[in-house]
A and B are shown apart, each in its own frame.
Chain A
Amino acid sequence: MADATVVRSFALTDKIHSLTLELPGEASPGQFLHVACGDGLLLRRPISICDAGDGAMRIVFEVKGEGTRRLAAAKEGDVLDVLGPLGHGFEAPEKGRVLLVGGGLGAAPMLLAAKKFDCDAALGFPTAERVMLLDEFAPRVGRLDVATDDGTYGKKGFVTGLVEGRLGDYAAIMACGPEPMLRALAKVCAGAPLQVSMERRMGCGVGACLVCAVKLTDGSVVRACKDGPVFRAEEVDWNG
């Protein structure tokens, strides 16, 4: 647990906010910070780490309720109570190229992955106004493909459309996004080495309270916060 000073705070889109915190140490792509929102709000908010290095970590989140509204209102110099980095992140393949797949806010953690792996990226957003982080991905990846659901930016359609037919080129595919997208991607990627970052409402964030359950195909129920949030797609019971 640490007090982390905000060093940069800005809106990425109308609903998405970026906070950079003074936090030393390493973070693996897919790990998250568990951030307290202040008086009166009991639970921390688990937020994927978007970037890390040089004594700082960056989180990018959707402003959705009172907690994230408060976090978005944080100014440079404010201090946040942060736990982490927590969780089990993406695993690098022994060798070979990685394809990063991000849907909406799920693009954020892939930016840190882009820094760590030799990769290409495929990103999907609902519409042009929600497209984000492209200029930061560009220098970190080989090929960068973008789709929007309504075709207002890049290719029209879902992000799954960007990856079909080219899976054989990659030693690992890593994805983060809404669960319906991950489920669709798992179908498209059947047989390919896909890792997915699962989102759940969390409590403790350290594996003790068992509220962030993810059901696996072997019938076991595991914790998104501690055993994940990243799992191999074929382990996940998508109907669970």
Chain B
Amino acid sequence: MADMRVSFAGVDFKNPVTVASGTFAFGREYAEYYDLSRLGGICVKGLTPLPRGGNPSPRIAETPMGMLNSVGLQNPGVDAFIRDELPFLRGFDTKIIANISAPTPEDYALMAAKLSDAGVDMIEINVSCPNVRAGGMAFGVTCEGAASVTAAVKKASSVPVMTKLSPNVTDIAEIARACEDAGADALSLINTLLGMKIDPATGVPILANNTGGLSGPAVLPVAVRMVWQAASAVKIPVMGMGGVSRAEDAAEMIWAGASLVSVGTATLADPYAPVKVLEGLEKFLDEHGLTLEGMKGRVKLH
């Protein structure tokens, strides 16, 4: 049996399969389907300093092998998360990663301090949400923006911090290096690709927000390429995500340089997708005589 344990930025994950922020809420819904302790980690729904109602409906549109969403960071706020949701999540033997967004680096830092005190295992800095005006992707598309938030959070946090990168940039390696230099303990990528879908008959965009974030199998090759570019540019570990729905997709991510993989949109179609990816990956490694360490970042380039 392949060794599935992964030490990631000093945090010991029992296996490399996590669930991506925004696709798993705070775990309660999927706990009705399986034991969350089977997962390596849970990246919780994106939190903000205060509760947010999110964007108007429709917030979802299906696209070829993918979907667009424009939820707009609907969440109960960081304090309600710590009070109402974290104790439930702590009942499972899995790593809890708090995903945070805020309008200023100082607000990010305040949230990080609260959450690390409350006992999450890691902080994931969301500087890549394409669906909100203030904060979100605005920080993630420049080296200065991503670095300023990363530095502020790193200073305030007593647990490892991971910056979640936007794919909507020209040079992902440059941003990855800026985050590493600013003190990030890890990187996660990719967030969604900014997209748009228009009703061909009426000319009206399907999403009430007009644009939204593209995810699902359609983005997998983009994500693999960007994980490879980012992981090659830094020494800190990388969590790879974007279109992972099968064990083979996870394997691609690992060859490209990911230490952990995250399953997101696939869970929306099949609640069991993260568990299937995990079990499939274990089998895949055994069948091919591969190990996680042996594959990680060792893509055999032409």
List A residues at the B interface (Cβ < 8 Å).
Answer: 1, 36, 40-44, 67, 83, 200-204, 206-215, 219-221, 226, 240
Contacts and interface: CB of A to CB of B under 8 A. Distances in A.
A226 to B, nearest CB: 7
Contacts, number: 98
A184 B11 CA distance: 56
Query: Secondary structure at chain A's binding surface: helix, strand, loop or mixed?
Result: loop
A208 B266 CA distance: 13
A4 to B, nearest CB: 15
Interface of B: 22-25, 28-30, 32-33, 45, 53-62, 64-67, 69, 71, 74, 206, 216-217, 265, 267-272
A210 B54 contact: yes
Nearest to B269: A42
A226 B26 CA distance: 14
A215 B265 CA distance: 24
A184 B61 CA distance: 27
B270 A1 contact: yes
B268 A204 contact: yes
A148 B302 CA distance: 67
Contacts of A221: 53-54, 74
Given A1-B272, A207-B25, 11 more contacts: A40-B65, A41-B62, A42-B265, A67-B62, A201-B57, A206-B33, A209-B69, A210-B25, A210-B74, A213-B57, A240-B56
Contacts of B268: 42-43, 203-204, 208-209
Main secondary structure of the interface of B (DSSP, over half): loop
Contacts of B74: 210, 213, 221
B23 A208 contact: yes
Nearest to B62: A43
A42 B62 CA distance: 7
28 contacts: A1-B33, A1-B272, A42-B62, A42-B67, A42-B268, A42-B269, A83-B271, A200-B58, A201-B61, A201-B206, A203-B67, A204-B271, A206-B29, A206-B271, A207-B28, A207-B29, A208-B23, A208-B25, A208-B268, A209-B22, A209-B71, A210-B25, A211-B57, A212-B57, A212-B59, A213-B55, A220-B53, A240-B56
A206 to B, nearest CB: 5
A202 B267 contact: no
Nearest to B66: A42
B269 A36 contact: yes
